[in-house]
Amino acid sequence: MQTILNTASDLKDLDGYLDKARVKKLLLVCDDSIHFLRLDEYFEGLEKRRGIQVIRFSDFESNPAYESVVRGEQVLRESGCDMIAAVGGGSAIDVAKCIKLYKNMDNSKNYLTQQVVPCDMPLLAVPTTAGTGSEATRYAVIYYKGEKQSITYESCIPDAVLFEPQVLATLPDYQKRSTMLDALCHAIESVWSMGSTEQSKRYCVQTIKLILENMQSYLDGDEIVFPTMFKAANLAGKAINITQTTAGHAMCYKLTSLYGIAHGHAAALCVRSLFPYMIENTDKCIDPRGEGFLKDSFDEIADAMGCKTAQSAAERFAGIVDSLGLEAPKMRAQTDIDILKTSVNPDRLKNNPVRLDVCAIEKLYREILGEYK
């Protein structure tokens, strides 16, 4: 079971966790956000205070490349670290997950072609955004030769998580909006996912309610609601860990890389168009639980959003995206559509309860980029 550490001012819970793990040398995978946090000073003084040497690794980018993970794994192996800590957004946590995953594998060959060798090295995650839920999932995303690679393995799930509400105070507004919508999209997609369960739906309903009830206060910078937004993102991550994402996320990745927009921004644009399309096309349901079950799932989303119908829920979601100013990027050329429609991973669509063929995907992308109002 994952350990959730307390964020008391003295960080005694974190000290206790490191002591219990008998850590001697720690690989700290972190992005630039750590310099704005008290955790920067905490890790800087760890060797002097507790005799734990800290090796920092920051040689990765947003949407991290496979090569970044290879460099990180080399640092881990050569330094002899016995624990990994990740401080940052989804990219930092995904890099740390993959570094751990590759530790026991053959470093003379491409890790992506090998069978995973389980690794029990402790992994601590400190998310600095309330959105990805990466700290709760067995998934990681990296890019190899520009193509998205979905890494899935149980040992990717961090052993412990520290939620530090202070980190959200330094988050730029655009990142606040986009990561918040990422969590909301996770919850909505997870409800209608073909992998949904009663447990995952409970997580999703909680997430949707928490985000909508606290959204404005969060965006206004009210620190009282910061822990709540972390909770919402974490619950959404737990749901996705059960169900996986659906077409909304399958379609968003190339939007992110092609136009340079944030992942949550791209996901929201996709769900904005996908939601009403699915409501109108329940006759194309491929969920073995049936069309009636799918319609009930849409009603559950509507109820969690405080709406009377699925259609009004889809409209409310669209209104939220519009109100946050997350506009669609401008299509640069007609060839963009060809790039986008061929980028969608068919395996990810297998989890979507409404069948989407190439024509439907093209129609949705054109709506997002060309007819988006």
Mean pLDDT, residues 286-291:
98
Element (H, E) at 174: helix 173-192
- C-beta of residue 73 within 8 angstroms of C-beta of residue 102: yes
Task: State the sign of the Cα–Cα–Cα–Cα dihedral 194, 199, 202, 204.
Answer: negative
Give the number of residues written for the chain. 373
Q: How far apart are CA 266 and CA 118, in angstroms?
A: 33
pLDDT band at residue 347 using 50, 70 and 90 as cut-offs: confident
Give yes or no for a contact between 168 and 229, defined as CB atoms under 8 angstroms apart. Answer: yes
Domain residue extents for the chain: 3-167, 172-369
Is 74 strand, coil or helix?
Answer: helix
DSSP label of 324 = T
What's the average model confidence in pLDDT over 348-372?
Answer: 89
Q: Specify the CATH class of 3-167 in words.
A: alpha beta
The whole-number pLDDT of residue 371 equals 53
The pLDDT tens digits of the residues spanning 307-319 come to 999 999 999 999 9
Q: In terms of pTM, does the model score above 0.75? A: yes
The letter for the amino acid at 278 is M
Nearest partner of 321 among 272, 275, 367, judged by Cα:
272
CATH class of the domain defined by 172-369? mainly alpha
Phi, psi of 107 (to 5 degrees): -80, 0
Q: For residues 128 and 179, give the distance between their C-alpha atoms in angstroms, rounded to a whole number.
A: 10
pLDDT of residue 30: 95
Contact call for residues 301 and 215 (beta carbons, < 8 A): no
pLDDT digits (tens, 9 = 90+) for 130-178: 999 999 999 999 999 888 898 999 989 999 999 988 889 989 999 999 9
**What is the per-residue pLDDT across 80-90, written as a single tens digit (0 to 9) for each?**
999 999 999 88
CA neighbor of 302 nearest in space, from 373, 181, 212, 197:
212
